[in-house]
Structure 1
Amino acid sequence: MPIERRQDGTLVYGYLDTAAELGVRTSDAVLVRDQGRPYQAEMRPYRFGMLGACEITGDDPVRVHSLPSSSVPDGEHLISLLRCGNGWLEQDGRRASLSPGDFMLYSGRRPFRLELDGPYRYFLMRIPAAAVDRLFGTVGGVTANREILRLPSARILTAMLMEMADQAPGLGPLTGRELGQHVTAMLRTVLRESSRPDPPGDGAALLERILDHIDRHLGDELLPGTIAAAHHVSPRYLHKLFEQQGQSIGEHVRRRRLEHIRQDLGDPALAHVPVQAIAGRWGLKDPSHFSKLFRSEYGISPREFRREAISRTGARV
């Protein structure tokens, strides 16, 4: 990974963007101030589908200063996990202490400061804007904020990140891609929980029934009006229930359909079934629209995903 020694420290870049070339600055560039000693650290980059990742291991204390740049896509965020050592992260007027097992959210587009005591192990993932941008835009106050760690969903995400960091060297491309999808899905859950609690009392029970109804009818034409009528509520109230969870009813239906399609495409027993027939079975009947949705969600075309999934399954068998 390219580094450049400067009078005020060491410029480090290309640890998340592994295609970076020497002298070509990338969106992940940071300035490491190393108290006069040459900066030394071991960096192991990984890919989890659309998510770039890197584990950084060092023995000496470091102070990291961001170099905000317009080349960082608007909405892109970072999620870090401190595996060993102590430190703190500062952004958006908040300063959060870091202990082993803590994850933290921040943005490379805005100024931040990070300090780590040595020795340390720091696992970092870049979350593309397409994955959770809308939720970051509506939630607010989650960067450099330890309060988010109190959420039950955040504890589950922490355990997932710890295990991913342990197992990353042995993961194949398809497994890594699928785990990246799980991380972004779990992060969506954390962000929703951080901003909007479940509806109280009857509202929670009603929402649970509606979610079950949607799962049972994914292959049908699911319109807000018909779903609302089936549960004796107005379409306006139905939309409000979902908005309280940080998503629209259309987004929920689309994501559930894509999840089922992805599972079927990876099933060797269904390898003879055309891709579009599987998509149509789950309610996505327009081939062009379905292909765009699938690629946007998973970063790969449906046919490429099926080929990778089935070839890997066949090799394992």
Structure 2
Amino acid sequence: MPVERRDDGNLVFGYLDTASADLSGASDTVLVRALVGGEGYAAEMRPSRFGALSGCDISGEQAIRVMPRPSPAAPRPGHLLGLLVSGRGELEQDGRQAELAPGDFVLYTGARPFRLELDSGHRYFVLTLDAGTAGQLATTGGAVTANAELPRSPSGRVLAAVVGELAERAHGFGPLARREMGEHVSAILRTLLREAGGSGAAVGGGAAGALDRVLAYIDDRLAEDLSPGTIAAAHHISVRHLHALFRESGVTVSDHVRRRRLERIRQDLVDPALAHLPAYVLAARRGLGEASHFSRVFRAEFGLSPRAVREQAHARA
């Protein structure tokens, strides 16, 4: 854990951006100040990697305050998910304060000012986010950073439980399992962000039943024309009504169709019974017929090419 002592605190870097040995090039630099005594900073840091996600399990006995100090020459800091495993804490960003108890998580970004305080005897697990999830988080306009309500939602509770288990067992997984665990965390977080983007409220009453029928229709017909007009006509509703159903869930019709097709293709790619079929054939069977477009959107969604997903499944088998 590289630490550089300064008059105003300790510059700490390389706990997430482990490839950077130089302070000027590290994207994870923070200023850590001891809240009592003003002495130097010491903590146990255990970095880990989960595919596209970098993580670090941080245990310290000092009460500290953490603030971002990115170098102008370093890549722009990204979005982070922090989970308090033990102790007490508080994070402030974008005009909100989130009190942290054990098992609570918080979302924030190193690209804007934040203040993270951790009491003595803390253990804090922090994860970077993959590009797709970070992009989705950025579209919320800061509405979810330091948001104390997110861990209380149904998806938030699931995410907290999964990340908590990941923190406990991070170094017990093999390389392929670590990558898959990172994908699971990203998928749950994207679900949470879509819910938060839909005003945080679930679709209720008859609208929920209508949306359930539409979702089942889409899953059964991924190879067919699934334009909003076609879907709406099949359910005898207007296109405007269809868009309204999805808007309450924080996702567009087209985005949902694309994601479901990609998820089904990914399942097909790892199915041994379909190993003889090229990836572009599997994509065409799920409604994505243009090979170059399919490869591009697949990599954007999962952070891996179709070939890499299939090769990993073959190696695991």
Distance 1:105 1:23 in 2: 24
Deviation at 1:258, TM superposition (A): 1.1
Deviation at 1:93, TM superposition (A): 1.6
Deviation at 1:101, TM superposition (A): 0.8
Distance 1:155 1:175 in 2: 22
Q: What residue is the counterpart of 2:236 in the other structure?
A: 232
Deviation at 1:67, TM superposition (A): 1.9
Q: Is 2:315 the counterpart of 1:311?
A: yes
Q: What residue is the counterpart of 1:276 in the other structure?
A: 280
Structural mapping, 1:1-80, within 5 Å: 1-34=1-34, 35-67=37-69, 73=76, 76-80=78-82
Distance 1:221 1:47 in 2: 39
Q: Secondary structure at the match of 1:24?
A: helix
Preserved CA contact (<8 Å) 2:23 2:29: no
Deviation at 1:244, TM superposition (A): 2.1
Residue range with higher mean Cα deviation, 162-171 or 129-138: 129-138
Deviation at 1:200, TM superposition (A): 2.6
Distance 1:101 1:168 in 2: 16
Q: What residue is the counterpart of 2:139 in the other structure?
A: 137
Distance 2:210 2:186 in 1: 27
Q: What residue is the counterpart of 1:183 in the other structure?
A: 185
CA gap 1:278/1:230 in 2 versus in 1, 3 angstroms: same
Distance 2:203 2:138 in 1: 21
User: How large is the Cα RMSD of the aligned pairs?
Assistant: 1.9
Preserved CA contact (<8 Å) 1:101 1:158: yes
Give the fraction of aligned pairs with identical amino acids, expressed as a percent. Answer: 54
Q: What residue is the counterpart of 1:82 in the other structure?
A: 84
Q: Secondary structure at the match of 2:140?
A: helix
In the alignment, which of 207, 212, 215 is matched to residue 208 of structure 1?
212
Preserved CA contact (<8 Å) 1:135 1:246: no
TM-score (norm 2): 0.92
Q: Secondary structure at the match of 1:300?
A: coil
Q: What residue is the counterpart of 1:115 in the other structure?
A: 117
Distance 1:290 1:193 in 2: 26
Question: For residue 33 of structure 2, what is the amino acid of its counterpart?
Answer: R
Distance 1:285 1:30 in 2: 46
Q: Secondary structure at the match of 1:118?
A: coil
Q: What residue is the counterpart of 2:262 in the other structure?
A: 258
Deviation at 1:12, TM superposition (A): 0.8
Residue range with higher mean Cα deviation, 150-159 or 205-214: 150-159
Q: Secondary structure at the match of 1:146?
A: coil
Deviation at 1:22, TM superposition (A): 2.5
Deviation at 1:136, TM superposition (A): 4.3
Distance 1:116 1:180 in 2: 25
CA gap 1:69/1:239 in 2 versus in 1, 3 angstroms: farther
TM-score (norm 1): 0.92
Deviation at 1:135, TM superposition (A): 4.8
Q: What residue is the counterpart of 1:286 in the other structure?
A: 290
Preserved CA contact (<8 Å) 1:49 1:177: yes
Preserved CA contact (<8 Å) 1:82 1:98: yes
Distance 2:98 2:117 in 1: 11
Q: Secondary structure at the match of 2:25?
A: coil
Deviation at 1:26, TM superposition (A): 2.0
Measured against aligned partners, the alpha-carbon deviations of 1:240-269 in whole angstroms (never above 9, x if no partner) come to 221221111111111111111111212233
Preserved CA contact (<8 Å) 2:24 2:71: no
Structural mapping, 1:241-256, within 5 Å: 241-256=245-260
Q: What residue is the counterpart of 1:95 in the other structure?
A: 97
CA gap 1:170/1:105 in 2 versus in 1, 3 angstroms: same
Preserved CA contact (<8 Å) 1:92 1:144: yes
Residue range with higher mean Cα deviation, 240-249 or 102-111: 240-249
Distance 2:159 2:264 in 1: 22
Q: What residue is the counterpart of 1:198 in the other structure?
A: 202
Q: Secondary structure at the match of 1:247?
A: coil
Distance 2:226 2:193 in 1: 26
Question: For residue 162 of structure 2, what is the amino acid of its counterpart?
Answer: M
Distance 1:304 1:128 in 2: 17
Q: Secondary structure at the match of 2:18?
A: coil
Question: For residue 206 of structure 2, what is the amino acid of its counterpart?
Answer: D
Deviation at 1:129, TM superposition (A): 4.2
Q: Secondary structure at the match of 1:295?
A: helix
Deviation at 1:132, TM superposition (A): 4.5
Count of aligned positions: 312
In the alignment, which of 157, 182, 186 is matched to residue 155 of structure 1?
157
Distance 2:293 2:236 in 1: 31
Q: What residue is the counterpart of 2:224 in the other structure?
A: 220
Distance 1:17 1:312 in 2: 28
Question: For residue 269 of structure 2, what is the amino acid of its counterpart?
Answer: L
Structure 2: runs of 5+ lacking an equivalent: none
